[in-house]
Amino acid sequence: MSQGSLNDNYRGVFDTRLGFGDKPAVLVIDFVKAYTTPGAPFFGQGVVDAVDASVDLIGRARTLGIPVLYTTVEYHPSGVDGGLFFRKVPSLKLFVRGEPLGAIDPKIAPRPDEIVVAKQYPSPFFGTSLASTLQVMGVDSIVLLGCSTSGCVRAAAVDGIQYGYRVIVPRECVGDRHDAPHQAALFDINAKYGDVVSRAEVMGWFESLQR
């Protein structure tokens, strides 16, 4: 199916835009060294590019007082807390607690006052305190940065809308190991779970909130 016929198939059914809210938070998902270190099993140049594109957006959010939260993947050495997911993807052993490749990329490292949520599964909402934390903050919109687009970012978008948050994905600020699943996930997120927009549009929204 061509891109044109795909768009025609979704038009009028999966093409509604939710728009921006009034109280955003930035959620930086799994931008860790395992994805940005050449030669590492999860390495993807698309993730490196997304990290680079996220630096200014994160910095501007901080300047404007918009909360920035992070997620990492972290397992007990036994892997038992990862259940069948840990068995399905054996390379997840890179994220056993203390493994250096599980650390957040220093280009976008969290500040000491920023929350880092440790998770064991794709969605940052599953089995974590994230939803209640965002609720206490009064957040109505989550801006998803991170990787991988087809995995944890998509899972965050699905659960995000299910928890009642407007989901915003700046396309330059998410990445994957291959462009095909990356593009498919962006299409799917934009059709059903949130709005995929440009980084510039998100920055403009942040500035409008300040005004």
Its domain, for residue 166, covers: 21-210
Question: Is 129 among the domain residues?
Answer: yes
Question: What token pair was written down for 23?
Answer: 């109280």
pLDDT of residue 2: 57
Torsions phi, psi of 32, nearest 5? -115, 165
**90: Cβ–Cβ under 8 A, 6 or more apart, which residues?**
none
pLDDT of residue 1: 47
Residue with tokens 């928890």: 163
DSSP for 155-185, please give it: HHHHHHHHTT-EEEEEGGGEE-SSHHHHHHH
Question: Is 7 among the domain residues?
Answer: no
pLDDT tens digits for 16-63?
Answer: 889 999 999 999 999 999 999 999 999 999 999 999 999 999 999 999
Question: Is 111 among the domain residues?
Answer: yes
The β-bridge relationship of strands 24-29 and 141-147 is parallel
Question: Is 14 among the domain residues?
Answer: no
Question: Is 6 among the domain residues?
Answer: no
Residue with tokens 């061509």: 2
Residue 136, domain CATH: 3.40.50.850
* Chain length of the chain: 211
For the chain, the domain total comes to: 1
Quick check: 135 and 100 in contact, CB under 8 A? no
DSSP for 62-76, please give it: HHTT--EEEEEE-B-
DSSP run (H or E) holding 118: strand 116-119
pLDDT of residue 43: 97
Q: Which residues are catalytic?
A: 152
Question: Is 15 among the domain residues?
Answer: no
Question: What token pair was written down for 211?
Answer: 């005004």
Question: Is 4 among the domain residues?
Answer: no
- Residue ranges of the chain with per-residue pLDDT less than 50: 1
pLDDT of residue 13: 61
Question: Is 5 among the domain residues?
Answer: no
The β-bridge relationship of strands 68-73 and 24-29 is parallel
> What Cα–Cα distance (Å) separates residue 167 from each residue in 60, 111, 164?
19, 24, 9
